[in-house]
Amino acid sequence: MVKERENRIDLIRGLSLLLIFVGHSNFSFSEGFQHSRGFSDASELFVLMAGISAALAYYPRTGIVDLRSLLGKPLLRARKIYAVHVALLLALVGLFSIGLASDLPVFAQASVTLGLTGFWIDPLGSLASIFLLRYMPGNFDILPMYVILIACVPFFLYFHDRRPLLLFGVSVLVWLGAGFGHVNFVNTALPEGHWYFDPLSWQMIFLIGLTVGVRIRTGRPPLPYNRLLFVAAASFCVVAIPVNILFHFHFAEPPSQWLYRAMTSKTNDGILRLVNAVAILYVLWNIDAIRRMANAAVLQPICVIGRHSMPVFVTGLLLSDLMTVTMALERSLTIPEQILLMAAGLLLQLVVGQYLEARKTVSPRSRLQAAQSGTQHAGTLAPPAHIAN
């Protein structure tokens, strides 16, 4: 019996991609939009989904976890993500080098906005730092974070299968140490001098997603419904919205500014952000209407971009940088103009997803597989396998 694809994963991941684009585009309403969903935002949900997808892609069908056999595919995936990241940054630097050499004012302003000005102070050193993942302007340290997390998947799965308590104990200690000890990797492109998304902190929420994915992969309920837990999670999600708005925009002050900043730090994925994201996932997963919506035809375009999350994410990243540069121009855009730009960016990502889905469907290999499936298993739908995007 062939199991149907779990479209809720694709739906949540697709929605997260669109929300990340809006939040990173620096529209006049982006900050309010980001903080109107509680302590966490779409980034945590996306990393949770990445962990789930990694387990579905790499946990062996036999259930026998052997470290040596696990190493190949995740490391190959990490290498591909690394190559995409380096190619993007090199293309961006090359484009801006040409633009600045041509004395185009827009490139000078955009270079400041995106944090690229430091590159030309020491171009050879910065170029080497790109390859070493030590020079990443703007939001360009997100893909390197995935390089590290995906490379760790074989070890996560190995210890999850043999010593789960030890694995989670070490993960919590690393998360706490990174957060309170400010342990991070160097990023010379940012004023802070470190990665905006600290992998040592974000590995915790990725591991939670990985655990959920293993439960799905092994046929166990991933997030079993419990009425009291559901009410508690839903209540937390609802209360988090006004509390975060009040404190973030300084309508009110928390009892301890230092503690609140630590608990809501995005760099270190503070405890309030982590709990909020897991609570959102638990609530969404246990609402039957969400499952029906994920299978509805009207939402399939969003599910499609969730299935092709890596190229769509890269598209959204470039578009959000373009929007950020546009918002920094001398002429201020009106709200209707910003909404029009946002809609165009969202639509373009949906178009990219549809193109990739159509190309996958009409590829020679796909047609051959479909023909074989139709001949040997008439009336059976064989859904595509999960991939760790």
Write a three-state SS string for 316-380: HHHHHHHHHHHHCCCCCCCHHHHHHHHHHHHHHHHHHHHHHHHHHHHCHHHHHHHHHHHHHCCCC
Tell me if residue 186 falls in helix, strand or coil: strand
For residues 42-67, give the mean pLDDT.
Answer: 89
Asked if residue 384 belongs to a domain, the reply is: no
pLDDT score of 331: 77
Kindly state the DSSP code that residue 298 receives in the 8-state scheme: G
Residue 66 has pLDDT above 50, yes or no: yes
In a domain, 1, yes or no: no
pLDDT level of residue 1 (50, 70, 90 thresholds): very low
Has residue 387 been placed in a domain?
no
Size (the chain), residues: 389
Asked, for residue 389, whether it belongs to a domain, the answer is no
Q: What is the pLDDT of residue 368?
A: 54
> What's the average model confidence in pLDDT over 301-308?
94
Query: Which DSSP state fits 35?
Result: G
Kindly state whether residue 385 falls inside one of the protein's structural domains. no
pLDDT tens profile 192-219: 899 999 999 999 999 999 999 999 999 8
Closest CA to 326 of 109, 79, 117: 109
Q: Which of 3, 5, 2 is nearest to 53 (CA)?
A: 5
Looking at the domain assignment, is residue 350 inside a domain?
Answer: yes
Of the candidates 175, 99, 108, 190, which has an alpha carbon nearest to the alpha carbon of residue 144? 190
pTM, two decimals, is 0.88
Confidence at residue 383, expressed as pLDDT on a 0 to 100 scale? 34
| Among 305, 309, 281, CA closest to 387 | 309
* CA distance linking residue 54 with residue 185, whole number of Å: 24
| Residue 375: pLDDT band with limits 50, 70, 90 | very low
pLDDT, mean over the chain: 87
Report if residue 179 sits inside a domain: yes
**Structural domain count of the chain:** 1
Is residue 33 within 8 A of residue 362, CB to CB? The reply is no
| CA-angle at 360, arms to 358 and 362, nearest 5° | 70
Rounded Cα distance, 19 and 30, in Å: 10
Range of the domain at 20: 7-376
Q: pLDDT digit string (tens) for 5-53? A: 788 999 999 999 999 999 999 899 998 888 888 999 999 999 999 999 9
